[in-house]
Amino acid sequence: MDLLIPDKTHDESRQGEALILGPATGKNNGRKLYIESYGCAMNFSDSEIVASILTDKGFETTSDFTIADVVLINTCSIRENAEQRVRNRLKEFTVAKVKNPGMVVGVLGCMAERLKSKFLEEEKLVDVVVGPDAYRDLPNLIERVDDGQRAVNVLLSREETYADISPVRLNSNGINAFVSIMRGCDNMCSFCVVPFTRGRERSREPQSIVTECTDLFNRGYREVTLLGQNVDSYKWKTTNKSSETDTQKQVLGMDLLDKVLASGEDFSGLQPHYTVEAGDVTFANLLEMVAQISPELRIRFSTSHPKDITDDVLYAIKKYDNICKYIHLPIQSGNSRVLKLMNRTYNREWYMDRIAAINRIIPECAISTDIITGFCSETEEEHQETLSMMDHVHFYFAYMFMYSERPGTLAAKRYADDIPDAVKKRRLQEVVAKQQEHSHERLKKLVGTTQKVLIEGFSKKSNNDYSGRSDQNTVVVFPVSDNYKPGQYVNVLIERCTTATLIGSPQTP
Ligand code: SAM
Ligand code: SF4
């Protein structure tokens, strides 16, 4: 069981969503593409890159996989139930493939990377397996399948950022867009599969990010979310073309794991790796560059890492009205021993210090988090420290998960997954109940205030109401009026709230 309070970076309602574009322009190869995505915002953003690569080759998208020539599923490995969801979906594609034997079925993303060619043996109907850094090779791989072979490319890269590919975003609302600023992760949190499925961290050239955001703004978009697993370690070396010098493509991840395993029980070999030299473009610099595109363009970002978020970043957020006052700062556990086992490289006091810095520099800033319950050997007292940390911070939102052991990770190799499911679940329920209280309290305090809202469209429940988000990332619902339309900002007087939504009325312009 995973529970979460909705947030834009992992939108439960978008899981399994098919990407639909307009008719192919220019070339048309007469073939139909179906692509659906699971997992985090990075995966949805990657599917837009894949669609761009294939529509460029003349594919047209369809929302009906039964009539597609190529069916792609972009997958997530973060927890076991995410993988199970994909396996169930693949079974549904089996039936369609029996009726349409020429159909090419491909698995993309983290599960493809984790299982590699094993996928072809396990899931007999899969023809193509493509890891997150090999999407440029998809047209060739599909051709290989057309020639009667099965095809795999799971090479990870130290350089690939798809910086030159303009993602197609035609089924978005035309208002908010995700923009990847980096790929991969070097952190090796012991529970996490991401460093193995997405490879080493690399940052994207800053000017290409600014160009993409400017283009989005010129096309009417009013909010960009800058994406990375650890945005605070974004770094572009102006002296080198790439943030990594090794250009050789190779399967990565294992080298980091070896380093950690060799470093002994206290992980002393893995210190926070974020160091800045003169001339580097940092995340604080990048935020300023994007903020300067237009005061009418809102900037969000995710995810921040407690060990790397600097005061410079906080001052950049404070300095620009259009950088949203909202930080997603996953804590995972409130106990220092568990944090050490998780290899998060910060402790309880460090996290509290970062919270104090946010409250000092940007007092109005909303903070959300991720929490894992029942990590290996977590005691009842240690779980209580997570609850007391929640009381200390009063997070606005949280993603809350039971620990799910992932094969190949440090934790799977080193620690017993020894907390019974019933205990993990009970602890999760306690965390969720506390979070609901805190979310509700936070929103109740906003009743009577005026919030600047970017209108995103009709509310989920009624076409008589508009829905949008406040600067602090809370959903705000208010009656439709001829004076406003989606994509515009409106000041809304908050009159009441539920546990997750503010409700109000627009102020006269
Ligand atoms: N890079 C981000 C960070 O470090 O905060 C998060 C990336 S991960 C895709 C999102 C969240 O999934 C993590 O913050 C963690 O709470 C959760 N997660 C990752 N691995 C997990 C596991 N094995 N079991 C349960 N939750 C997990
Ligand atoms: Fe996973 Fe940790 Fe990297 Fe986040 S920072 S993606 S939790 S290894």
DSSP for 133-160 reads T-GGGHHHHHHHHHTT--EEE----SS-
Instruction: Find where tokens 């139909």 sit.
Output: 32
**CA dihedral (409, 411, 414, 415) positive or negative:** negative
For ligand 1, atom 12, name the residue with the nearest CA.
78
Tell me which residue of 179, 177, 170 sits closest to 19, measured CA to CA.
170
pLDDT over threshold 60, residue 234 = yes
- Whole-angstrom distance, CA of residue 459 vs CA of residue 468: 8
Tell me which residue of 73, 141, 84, 131 sits closest to 107, measured CA to CA.
73
pLDDT over threshold 50, residue 244 = no
Q: Are residues 186 and 256 in contact, defined by beta-carbon separation less than 8 angstroms?
A: yes
**Ligand 2 neighbour 194 (Cβ under 6 A):** yes
Pick the ligand that lies closest to the CA of residue 374: 1
Pick the ligand that lies closest to the CA of residue 190: 2
Please report the pLDDT score of residue 277 as a whole number.
66
For the CA of 40, the closest atom of ligand 1 is: 9
Would strands 489-497 and 450-458 be described as parallel, antiparallel, or unpaired? antiparallel
**Ligand 2 neighbour 366 (Cβ under 6 A):** no
Please report the pLDDT score of residue 384 as a whole number.
98
Q: How confident is the model at residue 10 (pLDDT cuts 50, 70, 90)?
A: low
Buried b (16+ CB within 10 A) or exposed e, 44-67: bbbbbbbbbbbbbbbbbbbeebee
- The pTM of this model reads 0.89
For 345-381, what is each residue's pLDDT tens digit? 999 999 999 999 999 999 999 999 999 999 999 999 9
Question: Which 3 state secondary structure label does DSSP give 319?
Answer: helix
Ligand 2 mean position to 189 CA, how many Å? 6
Task: Select the highest-mean-pLDDT range: 10-19, 118-127, 466-475.
Answer: 466-475
> How confident is the model over 294-316, as a mean pLDDT?
96
Please report the pLDDT score of residue 278 as a whole number.
67
For the CA of 305, the closest atom of ligand 2 is: 5
**Ligand 1 neighbour 301 (Cβ under 6 A):** no
Tell me which residue of 258, 264, 200, 265 sits closest to 408, measured CA to CA.
258
Strand intervals (E) in 326-449: 326-328, 366-373, 397-402
pLDDT over threshold 80, residue 169 = no
The CA-atom distances, in angstroms, between 506 and each of 303, 456, 481, 486 are 31, 14, 9, 13
Question: What is Dmax (Cα atoms) for the chain?
Answer: 65
Q: How confident is the model at residue 256 (pLDDT cuts 50, 70, 90)?
A: low
The CA-atom distances, in angstroms, between 404 and each of 42, 59, 186 are 21, 38, 21
pLDDT over threshold 80, residue 141 = yes
Strand intervals (E) in 412-461: 450-458
Please report the pLDDT score of residue 340 as a whole number.
96
Q: Return the structure tokens found at 344.
A: 């998060």
Mean pLDDT of the chain: 88
Task: Select the highest-mean-pLDDT range: 24-28, 37-41, 472-476.
Answer: 472-476
**CA dihedral (133, 134, 139, 142) positive or negative:** negative
Q: Are residues 336 and 324 in contact, defined by beta-carbon separation less than 8 angstroms?
A: no
- Whole-angstrom distance, CA of residue 115 vs CA of residue 331: 29
For ligand 1, atom 20, name the residue with the nearest CA.
192
For ligand 1, atom 1, name the residue with the nearest CA.
229
Please report the pLDDT score of residue 8 as a whole number.
46
> How confident is the model over 226-255, as a mean pLDDT?
64
> How confident is the model over 494-500, as a mean pLDDT?
94
Virtual CA dihedral for 401, 405, 411, 412, nearest 10 degrees?
180
- Whole-angstrom distance, CA of residue 363 vs CA of residue 358: 7
Q: Return the structure tokens found at 57.
A: 């080759």
For ligand 2, atom 2, name the residue with the nearest CA.
189
- Whole-angstrom distance, CA of residue 48 vs CA of residue 271: 35
pLDDT over threshold 60, residue 264 = no
pLDDT over threshold 70, residue 490 = yes
**Cα 465–chain centre separation:** 28
**Contacts for 173 with CB less than 8 Å, ≥ 6 apart:** 456, 457, 486
Ligand 1 mean position to 78 CA, how many Å? 7
For 412-466, what is each residue's pLDDT tens digit? 999 999 999 999 999 999 999 999 999 999 999 999 999 999 999 999 889 999 9
Instruction: Find where tokens 């193995």 sit.
Output: 196
Q: How confident is the model at residue 95 (pLDDT cuts 50, 70, 90)?
A: confident
Q: What angle do CA 370, 363, 292 make, to 5 degrees?
A: 85
For ligand 1, atom 22, name the residue with the nearest CA.
404
pLDDT over threshold 80, residue 266 = no
Pick the ligand that lies closest to the CA of residue 110: 1
- Whole-angstrom distance, CA of residue 256 vs CA of residue 235: 19
**Ligand 2 neighbour 193 (Cβ under 6 A):** no
Please report the pLDDT score of residue 166 as a whole number.
83
**Ligand 2 neighbour 256 (Cβ under 6 A):** no
Please spell the DSSP secondary structure of 204-264, one letter per residue. Answer: PPHHHHHHHHHHHHHTT--EEEEE-TTGGG-EE-SSSSSS---------SHHHHHHHHHTT
